[in-house]
Amino acid sequence: METFFAVAFSFPTVIFSVLLCVAIIYWLISLSGMGDVDAEGDIDASGDFSGLMVTLGLQGVPLPLVLTLVFLTGWLSSYFIDLLFGSLVPSGLIHWLYGAAVVVVSFMVGILATSVVVRPLRPLFRRAYLPPLQKRIIGTPCVVISSSVSETSGRAEATLDGAHLLLQVRSHTPLSYRDRAVLIDHIPDNNAWWVVPESEFLSGESAG
């Protein structure tokens, strides 16, 4: 036990020990109800960061979980490397260089190991990453199935993620049966959607 604490709380393993303690405290606070676990973390806050997560194979699961796994596997890697080789490295500058190298290698091992671990977990969190229907359906093409569509009435059908949807739709531009349109906004009061003719939507995109 003395050896365990000596390695765990000495450089370089102490860096991962501190990070892992922070992660444990975060989860304890979240599980106690004092904080909320953000299912998506900050993955979508930056396109560059999101791209980095995808490149590293860490996408599709909550960011706090990803960081916790990286810290844990990094800690294990650093601990056993230092346990095996730390006593062989002389003290001083060489030991600090060795420690820095162990930190870098352990982070890399942590990222690689986490990318493997999260792969089977992604289906469990897939629903958390799907935005509400009201957001996902915007921009979806639809076909009018009522005799007409006006600002007060109308129906259309659309397909989203393989599911066939029958929707209440409204339009400032009169539409007729089998006309094609695009959903552009949700009307929460009566659970309907504003639509525009598909030709108008496409011409607007071309102009943009």
pLDDT tens for 91-128 read: 899 999 999 999 999 999 999 999 999 988 887 776 55
DSSP string, 29-91: HHHTTSS---SSTTGGG-HHHHHHHHHHT-TTS-HHHHHHHHHHHHHHHHHHHHHHHGGGSPS
CB 43 within 8 A of CB 79: no
79-93, 175-189, 192-206, range with the lowest pLDDT: 192-206
Shared domain check, 67 and 137: no
CA–CA dist 186, 180 (Å, integer): 18
Shared domain check, 102 and 139: no
**172: which residues sit within 8 A by CB, 6+ positions away?**
151, 194, 196
Shared domain check, 148 and 106: no
Shared domain check, 88 and 39: yes
* 3-class secondary-structure state, position 6: helix
Q: Which residue has the higher pLDDT, 46 or 183?
A: 183
Q: What range defines the domain where residue 188 resides?
A: 133-207
**Which of 69, 98, 129 is the endpoint of a domain?**
129
CATH code of 143's domain:
2.40.50.140
Which band of pLDDT confidence, cut at 50, 70 and 90, is reported for residue 162?
confident
Domain count, the chain: 2
The answer to whether residue 208 scores a pLDDT higher than 60 is no
Residue 85 token pair? 């080789």
Shared domain check, 92 and 10: yes
Shared domain check, 106 and 10: yes
Nearest alpha carbon to residue 35 among 45, 47, 27: 27
Q: Report the half-sphere exposure of 84 (CA within 13 A, side-chain side).
A: 7
**Which of 129, 153, 179 is the endpoint of a domain?**
129
Which band of pLDDT confidence, cut at 50, 70 and 90, is reported for residue 42?
very low
**Which of 72, 96, 129 is the endpoint of a domain?**
129
